[in-house]
A and B are shown apart, each in its own frame.
Chain A
Amino acid sequence: MSVAAMELPNVEEEGLQLGPIPGANDRVRFAGTGEAEGAAVLDRFLTLLHRQVLSLELRRVTIELAELEFINSSCLKAMVAWIYKVDTEGRPYKIHLRRDASMHWQRTSLATLQRLAPEVVVIEET
């Protein structure tokens, strides 16, 4: 059975690059650096992603983070809001975060996100 691919834009704004991974229906890639101005960009993208995942009835979505150099707390808050929404609205899907553990901030910040919603967030190594 084939599953429809997500229809998400490739976004390059405010230092962030966000978009679907070609050929993978449940994977997206985040890259670049997210400062304060990037929070709204990330928030919009995550809203679209959430809608897509729900409409396709996916059970999981994977975010590739290895090329995400850093996000500040405003962007982290956008991730928090999305994860909280998934966690408190019936946990319709799991969120797999694929990190590069050599980056200190990824180790600590992704652990923070997992503590927020351990039933939803799964951390994987790249």
Chain B
Amino acid sequence: MSRGAGSFLGRRVSQIAAARTAVSFSLERSHSLAGKIANWLIDFCQMTIGDRETTSRLHMAAHELIENVLKYGSTPEVGLEFELERSATESIVRIKTRNTADPQQLEEVTRRVTELRAAPDPVAYYDRLIRSTAPVIGMSGLGLARIRAEAGLEVDCSVEGREVSIVVQATMRSDR
């Protein structure tokens, strides 16, 4: 099925509770859509959290995550979710992607995220990764480490069967 930018399947916008908003998409793999979706997501984010700095960090994360699912997903359909939880003291923004992948890819992403989370200094880890991949033609593999080091966001992943979910989270203190 292909209906251009309107081809999102199972589009769902739900007010789950007064303090929690979630948006989820399932979408067909299309690199041309990646930037548009990331920009839309960030426009939505800017409207809901109104914090330019955090929005910029999430913008980076959204681009990297969407590129990853489009690059590594093994089936046409991938998922993207945006979630905002507010309480009196803080707001938590989560961006979650999910896609199916080959067993080798699942193992690789799990290894990378585990390594990244275990690194005591995310910037030093990122710098080492950059230096080690710099002479390797064509390979990036920097996206998740960039999210952690440059955007300063928490990164986690889980695997269920052949599906991997990656979650990026930003926590902000509420100003109200």
In contact, B146 and A33 (Cβ under 8 angstroms)? no
In contact, A104 and B67 (Cβ under 8 angstroms)? no
Q: Is A36 positioned at the interface, with any CB of B under 8 Å from its CB?
A: yes
Q: Is A77 positioned at the interface, with any CB of B under 8 Å from its CB?
A: yes
In contact, B67 and A105 (Cβ under 8 angstroms)? no
With a CB–CB cut-off of 8 A, which chain B residues contact A116? 127, 130-131, 134
Main secondary structure on B side of the interface with A: helix
In contact, A35 and B139 (Cβ under 8 angstroms)? no
In contact, A108 and B133 (Cβ under 8 angstroms)? no
Chain B residues within 8 Å of chain A by Cβ, number? 29
In contact, B131 and A15 (Cβ under 8 angstroms)? no
With a CB–CB cut-off of 8 A, which chain A residues contact B53? 104
In contact, A112 and B127 (Cβ under 8 angstroms)? yes
Interface size band for A: 20 to 34
**A/B pair count, beta carbons within 8 Å:** 71
In contact, B134 and A80 (Cβ under 8 angstroms)? yes
Beyond A72-B143, A84-B134, A108-B151, whether A36 also contacts B56 by CB under 8 A is: no
Beyond A73-B142, A104-B53, A112-B150, whether A35 also contacts B67 by CB under 8 A is: yes
In contact, A74 and B140 (Cβ under 8 angstroms)? yes
Beyond A73-B64, A116-B131, whether A104 also contacts B142 by CB under 8 A is: no
In contact, A81 and B134 (Cβ under 8 angstroms)? yes
Q: Across the two chains, which residue of chain A brings its CB closest to B126?
A: A112
With a CB–CB cut-off of 8 A, which chain B residues contact A84? 131, 134-135
Contact surface of B with A, Cβ cutoff 8 Å: 31, 34-35, 53, 56-57, 59-60, 63-64, 67, 70-71, 126-127, 130-131, 133-135, 137, 139-140, 142-143, 146, 149-151
